[in-house]
Amino acid sequence: MANFYSLLKKLTHIFCISTEFILNTTVILLLLPNKIFCLMSQSVLSLKNVTIVQGARTILSNVNLEVKQGEFIYIIGKTGTGKSSFMKTLYADLPLAEGEGTIMDFDLVTIKEDDIPYLRRKIGFVFQDFQLLPDRNVKDNLHFVLKATGWTDETEIQNKIDEVLEKVGVKEYALKMPHQLSGGEQQRVAIARALLNNPEIILADEPTGNLDPQTSVEVLDVLKKINATGKTVIMATHDYALLMKFPSKTLKCEDSSLFEVVQKTV
C-alpha cells in the first residue's frame, strides 16, 4: 500500500495533477490542458549556455542545444552523468542555474510555479518502470489521467482511450490489470498514456531498460512511428544496440558536458 501511494504521488507530480485525493474516488481539482500549434520547422526546445546543478554539484555546464519539432534524439551516457537531470530540467523540475532556455515558448528561467502544469500538459512521459497504477485496469489507468487533466465528457474520454490504445497496438488489453501484461505490453500502455493529451514532446527515460532485446525493438518501433507523425521524441538510453538499429541524432552526457556524437563512436 505504501508503494501504491508513493507511485500515485509521483504520477500526480509528473503530470502536474492538482488534487484533493479521496479514497474510493479519484481527482476533484482539475487543470485544463493548454493547446499550442507549431509548424514542423519550428524550434520546440532551445538551450543557450545552460548550467544544470543539483545541490552544490554542477551536473551539466555550457549546454547549447536547439531541437526542431519532429526530431528524434537519443541521450546517452553512463549512470550519473546527467541524463535524468537533463530530462528534469526540460519539464521544470530542476531550475536552470545559468543560461537561457525555452521549451515550447515557456521560459525555463522565469517560468512561474502556476505555469508549470501547463508546460507539462504539452509533454508526454514514458518511464523505465512503466508506473501504471496497480489497483486498476488499463482503461481506468488512462481514465484517471484524462479526468485529472480536465476531461469531463465520458464519450470523449472513451474515444480518446480507444484511440491511443489502438495507436500502440494494445486496445484488446483495455480491461486487463497491469500484472496480467508482459513488460512490453505495459510499456505500450505507458506510451499510450503519454499520448493522451496530444503532447508536443515525448520524454522517454530508459523506456527499454527493463525489457528483453526483441521487446525493446518493438517498443522503439512504436516510438519511431509516433515520431513519424510529427511528435518530437527525446529518449535517454543505455541500449546502444537500438541506436545502431534505429539511427538518429545522438547526444552524450560526459564530464559535465552534453555534446553530439556520430553513431560509429557511441
Helix spans in the chain (H): 2-14, 83-90, 116-121, 138-148, 154-168, 183-194, 213-227, 240-245
The string of pLDDT tens digits covering residues 51-64 is: 999 888 999 999 99
C-alpha 221/C-alpha 219 separation (Å) is: 5
Nearest to 121 by CA among 104, 143, 109, 96: 104
- Position 168: which residue type? V
Give the pLDDT confidence score for residue 42 in this predicted structure.
87
Q: What is the pLDDT of residues 146-196, one digit of tens each?
A: 999 889 999 999 999 999 999 999 999 999 999 999 999 999 999 999 999
Report the pLDDT value the prediction gives residue 25, as an integer from 0 to 100.
38
3-class SS of residue 224: helix
pLDDT of residue 11: 59
Tell how far CA 198 is from the center of its chain: 12
- Spans of the chain, pLDDT less than 70: 1-41, 263-266
Cell of 209: 531498460
All structural domains of the chain = 2-18+68-97+106-265 (3.40.50.300)
